[in-house]
Amino acid sequence: MNIIFESDFMNKNLIIGTISLLLFVSACSYLPDPHEPIPDVMITETADYIFLKSAENTSSETLFLYYPGGLVDPHAYISMLNGVVKSGYPVLIIKVTGNLAIANVGKARKIVEEFTEFNHYVLGGHSLGAAVSCIAAARDKQIFDGLVIMAGYPTENASLADWDQGTLLVFDASHDEIINRLKLEEAKAFFPQIERVDLTEDLEEPTAGKTIWVEISGGNHSQYGDYGFQHGDGEATISMEMQHELLRDFMLEFFKVNGW
Amino acid sequence: MKGKLFFITICILPFLGISQEMSISLFQGQGFGTNIGSEWFRNGPGLQLRYSKGLNDVDFWSAGVEMRTVNWGNQVAFTSGYQRLYAAVKENWSFRIGGEMIHGVVLFRPRSLYALGLKTGHAVRYQSKKRSFFQLDTAIGYNITPGYLDFGNINQAYELRLEISYGLLLGRQQKTLDLNYLSL
């Protein structure tokens, strides 16, 4: 009997150990294509971040900080964000331990303390990075002016529903099959007042205290970045370039209408 | 069956008389520089399993496997190293110096990238009478992933590494050490 018990116990531990090991070993990060210089964009890279700044248009007082998706190399977001940079908004992509943003929730605040020359700080992220940006914003509502969420949502513990001055933008790609739709639906209770807006509509007044919810028709989860097709995702019916262009145009409008 | 048992016994016999140990280590790398310049950052934590074998009473060779995060990703590597016992205090405490070479890959899709590392440092060990030990290592380490330069600007990291290990002694235990011989 003891032998059976011991054997079960060992088997259980062996299974847990093996699963843990497999999880780690399969923790491969998605890489983008090898980088090429981007005209008019200056890139400063440290061990903690990738800072992108326009070489010509440097007048913005707003810094956009961005958390990458889980197990996605941070460089995979440069192509999506460089359009925002070229329009004059400096962007800082946060590097996270093990390419898992959840390990560095407090890093955005530390970086804000380093970059004190800006008057406005807008946080954003993709997937796991979006969820982490919600946690970071919920912790430091007085630091961040707004939040741009791509394929993510807050949880009850990081509810943003009472963020009166918060200005939120949510992108939801119609062919995103990675995101948990049920949880996204439940999470709507944790956003400030939601206002659905069509991509073609113009925002006419500041959106403080609201969540602007935009659907990217034909877009998917993987195409928020530039790292290839993510296993389990839906097939997009628009190109990655088109998805990036739609994101860029609406983000710029959102920034401008809010005076950033 | 008897044949297999005989074969295994023959394989194990050479190791029975040699001091050997198995250990598990947890470590944290605190970065202090990259290929771009000096910078203070968390390079990442990790876990290492190590087999060590005595070449004599003071020199040890080791081999192991290491899983860790580095600044640019998650790394799996094989390690091989050398440690020299250079001072012992009473029967329980000893001091060692040594180094390790790390060969592995940083896990990426669509393909992983080759990674290389080095570390050298000191260790303090407390050895109990129950054939087990605890060891604290402090080391300086270096990591490089040459292929990552195609994707980012930082592909090398220098770190201070703090490591805590628990191990078991296998085979013959060392005799009482000659402290005069070990003192430098």
pLDDT of amino acid A1: 40
Tokens 């016999």 sit on residue: B13
B107: helix, coil or strand? coil
Q: Residues A181-185: what's their mean pLDDT? A: 97
Characterize the bridge pairing of strands A91-94 and A49-54: antiparallel
Query: Is pLDDT of A233 > 50?
Result: yes
* CB of A107 less than 8 A from some CB of B: no
Tell me what the pLDDT averaged over chain A comes to: 92
Q: Residues B12-34: what's their mean pLDDT? A: 83
Judged by CB atoms closer than 8 Å, whether chains meet at B73 and A99 is answered as: yes
Chain B environment of A35 (Cβ under 8 Å): 150-152
- Identity of the amino acid at B31: G
Beta bridge partners of A234: none
* CB of B126 less than 8 A from some CB of A: no
pLDDT of amino acid A23: 58
Judged by CB atoms closer than 8 Å, whether chains meet at B36 and A35 is answered as: no
Chain B environment of A45 (Cβ under 8 Å): 36, 152-154
Judged by CB atoms closer than 8 Å, whether chains meet at B69 and A97 is answered as: yes
Judged by CB atoms closer than 8 Å, whether chains meet at B152 and A30 is answered as: no
pLDDT of amino acid B181: 41
Closest partner CB to B109 (pick from A24, A31, A97): A31
Phi, psi of B22 (to 5 degrees): -120, 135
For residue range B104-157, list pLDDT tens digits in order.
999 999 999 999 999 999 999 999 877 899 999 999 999 999 999 999 999 999
Q: How confident is the model at residue B11 (pLDDT cuts 50, 70, 90)?
A: low
For residue range A190-205, list pLDDT tens digits in order.
999 999 999 988 999 9
**Chain A, nearest residue to B69 by Cα:** A98
CA separation for the pair A92, A44 (Å, rounded): 9
pLDDT of amino acid A217: 98
Parse chain B into domains and list their residue ranges.
33-182
- Whether residue A99 contacts residue A248, with contact meaning beta carbons closer than 8 Å, is answered with no
Chain A environment of B74 (Cβ under 8 Å): 24, 27-29, 98-99
* CB of A32 less than 8 A from some CB of B: yes
Which of the following CATH numbers is that of domain A40-257: 3.40.50.720, 2.60.40.1120, 3.40.50.1820, 3.10.150.10? 3.40.50.1820
pLDDT of amino acid A19: 56
Q: Residues A77-81: what's their mean pLDDT? A: 97
* CB of B29 less than 8 A from some CB of A: no
* CB of A28 less than 8 A from some CB of B: yes
Closest partner CB to A29 (pick from B43, B74, B153): B74
Judged by CB atoms closer than 8 Å, whether chains meet at A27 and B31 is answered as: no
For residue range A132-159, list pLDDT tens digits in order.
999 999 999 999 999 999 999 999 999 9
CA separation for the pair A234, A236 (Å, rounded): 6
Judged by CB atoms closer than 8 Å, whether chains meet at B43 and A99 is answered as: no
Q: Which of A8-17, B72-81, B93-102, B167-176 has the lowest mean pLDDT?
A: A8-17
Tell me which residue of A222, A170, A230 sits closest to A197, measured CA to CA. Answer: A170
CA distances from A142 to A77, A165, A237 (A): 27, 9, 39
Looking at chain B, the whole-number percentage of residues with pLDDT higher than 90 is: 75
Phi, psi of A192 (to 5 degrees): -65, 170
For residue range A36-64, list pLDDT tens digits in order.
889 999 999 999 999 999 999 878 999 99
Distance, in angstroms, between B29 CA and closest chain A CA? 12
* CB of A22 less than 8 A from some CB of B: no
- Whether residue A212 contacts residue A168, with contact meaning beta carbons closer than 8 Å, is answered with yes
Phi, psi of A75 (to 5 degrees): -70, -15
Q: Residues A206-232: what's their mean pLDDT? A: 97
> B84: number of CA atoms within 13 Å, CB side?
9
B142: helix, coil or strand? strand
